């Protein structure tokens, strides 16, 4: 559980730093994402050494190679959609749509991961997701922008990738899986976008490295959470990340906060405590 809690902190820090890079320093998404994944790969090398990652012959079976390829495709698409949405939307608006990702993940896990089927846990997870979504929703959200549609697609693909990752973790250790994933994605982004990597300010460059540190912490610990306590429980704990983003964005970006956000946070925390203590 501690792994998932730290991962949620990493998520919150990463979102806020990425927002600054994309919206304050106006770094184009197709220049930022390749840089980010280059640094994610570099930093993850140290994680593989620390966590003693390694090779397993089962990694290259036809079934696992297919799942790995599917993971790369889904990750490539949702990362682009997600960062484009983050650049153009306010943080709290971005997080509202991205809340569909944990809800979709919990539903897909209930369907495709028989070992994790638990009606009380499933109900608590759905309540937590809906409570946080209801707290952030208002009438103006009924009018969707093109970037919202991309974000909805990103949330579903993120959920699909989570199920694939859980299956791959039966043959991969978390650090190795994340390293190979980010390494291939960094190459794919460099080839697809051919960015002018040197055309980035020093401050944005440093922030990108910091963002990568948060990203590695979040994702590797998230993978360990999937492996040790399961996708549904890890996803529920990770919902604490958006709560942190809401309160931190109000402080850093002076975005308007509402009482119902605080009340929904209590509901989410209650659901998380119920599942973990149960």
* Max mean pLDDT range (9-18, 118-127, 128-137, 195-204): 118-127
Q: What angle do CA 60, 158, 76 make, to 5 degrees?
A: 65
The pLDDT assigned to 50 comes to 87
Q: How confident is the model at residue 64 (pLDDT cuts 50, 70, 90)?
A: very high
Annotated domain spans of the chain = 2-277
Residue position matching structure tokens 């997080």? 95
The pLDDT assigned to 4 comes to 67
Interatomic CA distance for residues 64 and 5, integer angstroms: 29
The pLDDT assigned to 250 comes to 57
Query: Within its chain, how far is the Cα of 5 from the centroid?
Result: 13
Contact 221, 11 (CB under 8 A): no
Q: Which two tokens stand for residue 143?
A: 């009018």
Q: How confident is the model at residue 16 (pLDDT cuts 50, 70, 90)?
A: confident
Q: How confident is the model at residue 89 (pLDDT cuts 50, 70, 90)?
A: low
CB hemisphere CA count around 51 (13 angstroms): 23
Interatomic CA distance for residues 81 and 147, integer angstroms: 8
Q: Point out the least confidently predicted range of 4-18, 62-76, 110-124.
A: 4-18
For the residues 223-233, what does the mean pLDDT come to? 90
For the residues 105-109, what does the mean pLDDT come to? 92
Q: Which two tokens stand for residue 209?
A: 């490295």
Predicted TM-score (pTM) of the model is 0.84
Contact 214, 13 (CB under 8 A): yes
3-state secondary structure of 142: helix
The pLDDT assigned to 40 comes to 94
3-state secondary structure of 225: helix
């Amino acid at each position: 559980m501690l792994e998932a809690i730290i991962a949620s902190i990493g998520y919150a820090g990463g979102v806020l730093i990425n927002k600054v890079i994309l919206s304050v320093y106006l770094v184009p998404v197709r220049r930022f994402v390749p840089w980010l994944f280059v640094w994610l790969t570099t930093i993850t090398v140290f994680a593989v050494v620390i966590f003693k990652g390694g090779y397993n012959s089962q990694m290259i079976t036809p079934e696992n190679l297919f799942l790995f390829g599917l993971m790369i495709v889904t990750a490539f698409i949702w990362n682009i959609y997600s960062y484009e949405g983050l650049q153009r939307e306010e943080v709290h608006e971005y997080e509202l749509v991205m809340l569909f990702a944990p809800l979709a993940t919990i539903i897909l896990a209930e369907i495709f991961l028989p070992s994790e089927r638990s009606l009380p846990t499933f109900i608590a997870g759905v309540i937590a997701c809906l409570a946080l979504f209801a707290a952030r929703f208002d009438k103006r959200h009924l009018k969707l922008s093109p970037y919202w549609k991309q974000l909805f697609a990103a949330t579903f693909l993120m959920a699909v990738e989570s199920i694939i990752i859980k299956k791959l973790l039966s043959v991969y250790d978390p650090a190795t899986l994340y390293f190979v994933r980010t390494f291939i994605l960094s190459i794919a982004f460099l080839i697809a976008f051919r960015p002018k990597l040197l055309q980035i300010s020093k401050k944005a460059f440093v922030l990108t490295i910091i963002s990568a540190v948060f990203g590695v912490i979040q994702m590797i610990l998230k993978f360990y959470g999937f492996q040790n306590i399961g996708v549904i429980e890890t996803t529920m704990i990770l919902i604490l990340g958006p709560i942190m983003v809401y309160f931190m964005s109000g402080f850093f970006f002076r975005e308007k906060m509402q009482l119902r956000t605080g009340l929904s946070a209590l509901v989410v925390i209650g659901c998380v405590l119920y599942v973990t203590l149960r």
